[in-house]
Chains A and B, each alone.
Chain A
Amino acid sequence: MWFKNLFLRKFLASDCNEAFVPDAKFKHPDKAAEIKVEDFNLWFGDAHILKNINVAIPPNKITCIIGPSGCGKTTLLKSFNRLVDLSENVKMTGSIRLGDEDIVNCSASELVELRRKIGLVPQRPTPLPMSIMANVAYGCKIHGLRRIRENRRIVRHYLKVVGLWNEVKDRLRSPAVKLSIGQQQRLCLARSLAVEPEFILADEATSALDPVSSRTVEDLFVKLKEQYSIIMVTHTLRQAMRIADYVIFIYLGEIIEVGDAKEVFHNPKHELTKKYLEGAFS
């Protein structure tokens, strides 16, 4: 154990201000890609959950998916990285494209790479059952980046990006579950960012957090949109109004209205959107 601690002390004492360049494996393409959904339908057994979805999600913006409970927001979000596959009897038609790659019809090996490009911040913070450091480095390790020095550099960088470094730098080997809920959520974000995704999916990522932590995560998303494209499902209209650049309103599995956040919130075209924004249903 002593040599591990020695490494850790050296690592903590080393220059923290060196410029960070992601590993060549994880570099973003020169031009940010958009997600394009065309004629997408999804069924769980006989239930037709998403109906004829057509939408293009712009890069480097925060796109909020809003709509009443059970309308298919999370299902649409989890279709973007095919986590819907984990559910029973899923059937999908149509296409979802990230740049040139088709997410719906890709092979299992392509899906692994696609999932790396589309990170997820879950509703409930889910630190992996390992240390803080191992949590952030996990994604890098499974994608073949096994150099310890490189992984430590990555861990430090992304913990700094999410503003967690100063809070945890002295206990990087402590279990991640010992962090507060807000810290755990930022750790999950750091873990997703460590594999340099192009898109970040956030499934009501602040709903389990206290107001202060919630605001911290929100501010982080605003900061991160310069480098990443963020798609966020939210139940809180005020949150969507604060941070969204682009809005998708879904009702009963159909997209009712899509557009610039200001336009949708202040000048909704569809009657249902107006009623939803007025709080007639939720």
Chain B
Amino acid sequence: MKKSIVMEKISKGFMIASIVVVFIMVASIIYTIFKRGFGCITWEMVSSVPKGGFYIGGEGGFLNATVGSVYIVLASTVIGLIISIPIVFYLNVFKSQKSRLAYWVRLAFDILYGIPSIVYGAFAFSLMIYMGVRTSLLGGIIVITLLIIPILMRSMDEVAKNFPHDLLEASFSLGATRLETIGIVLRQIAPGIATATLLSVGRAIGDAAGVMFTAGFSDSIPTSLSQPAATLPLSIFFQLSAPQAEVQNRAYAAALVLTIIVLVISLLGRFITNRFSKHKLN
């Protein structure tokens, strides 16, 4: 057999092996969560807030954490998109690929991308102490927004960078202004925006370190931005830290809810992506 064909077969084998490894990892995580989670989840856990002694085996549930997580993720994703989409448009429609400003902005976001969430949390915490602000839902939203803006911005930017230049010319040649042309860019990169949003939602909903200092934790559902809010990752953490096996098992019920939320958002994102992709120029 020719050497090149052998090399091709070996490479293909590596690729398939990598896919299998990833698939086994995902499947085993989901299997563990679903098996242990379904074993102990009850309607009371999903639909009620913790009652006295919940974390040592008492009655109640983790609705406070579910609602807190959903509040933080929704608010931070919306704010994150509102801030990062104009940056992406400015860099890709108003600035050329070789622009120095664009280079420095991208570099800054690359650095922010690599900063661990605990650092964001600690930074925000010291700011809050300085300003005399207590842990609150607003604090959590701000930190998670800061955390996901680099993810949103860089993911969308990579898609926008490959935006066909001919489309800009087509729009301008009809007499469109740059602002009107943004509508075309938006339609073309919509699948990229959906993917970036999914990535950031995944990161935001699973983050525990950033919200630990800023959103705090509370057994009740926050009714205002100034009240502390519980989140699912922290709820899982507290339950897993308990010495009782029964409470540890409950953590898997919370993990199950978290996984289902992420799964639903991912499927919704895929659906939206497919809807927008049908008009996309390749």
Contact A129 B174 (CB under 8 A): no
Contact B169 A176 (CB under 8 A): no
A94 within 8 A of B: no
Contact A130 B170 (CB under 8 A): no
Instruction: Give the contacting residue for A124; candidates B96, B166, B174, B180; CB below 8 A.
Output: B166
Considering the complex, give the chain B residue whose CB is closest to the CB of A140: B174
Instruction: Give the contacting residue for A128; candidates B167, B175, B177; CB below 8 A.
Output: B167
Quick check: which of A115-123, A230-238, A268-276 contacts chain B, the rest being far away?
A115-123
Contacts known (A88-B98, A129-B281); A115 close to B175, Cβ less than 8 A: yes
B 173-191 binary contact with A (CB < 8 Å = 1; else 0): 1111100100010011000
B164 within 8 A of A: yes
Contact B175 A139 (CB under 8 A): yes
Residues of A near B173 (CB, < 8 A) are: 81, 83, 115, 118-120, 122, 192, 201
Distance of A175 Cα from B171 Cα, bound (Å): 17
Count of chain B residues with a beta carbon within 8 Å of a chain A beta carbon: 25
B172 within 8 A of A: yes
Contact A86 B172 (CB under 8 A): yes
Instruction: Give the contacting residue for B180; candidates A81, A142, A191, A192; CB below 8 A.
Output: A142
A-B contact pairs, 10 of them (CB 8 A): A86-B165, A112-B175, A122-B170, A126-B164, A128-B167, A128-B187, A129-B188, A142-B176, A142-B180, A201-B173
Within A91-145, the residues touching B (CB, 8 Å) are 108, 112-116, 118-120, 122, 124, 126-131, 138-139, 142-143
Task: Looking at the assembled complex, report how far the CB atom of B89 sits from the nearest CB atom of chain A, in whole angstroms.
Answer: 15
**Nearest 3 Cβ contacts at the A-B interface:** A120-B173, A116-B175, A139-B174
Distance of A91 Cα from B146 Cα, bound (Å): 41
A188 within 8 A of B: yes
A168 within 8 A of B: no
Contact B175 A143 (CB under 8 A): yes
Task: Looking at the assembled complex, report how far the CB atom of B187 sits from the nearest CB atom of chain A, in whole angstroms.
Answer: 4
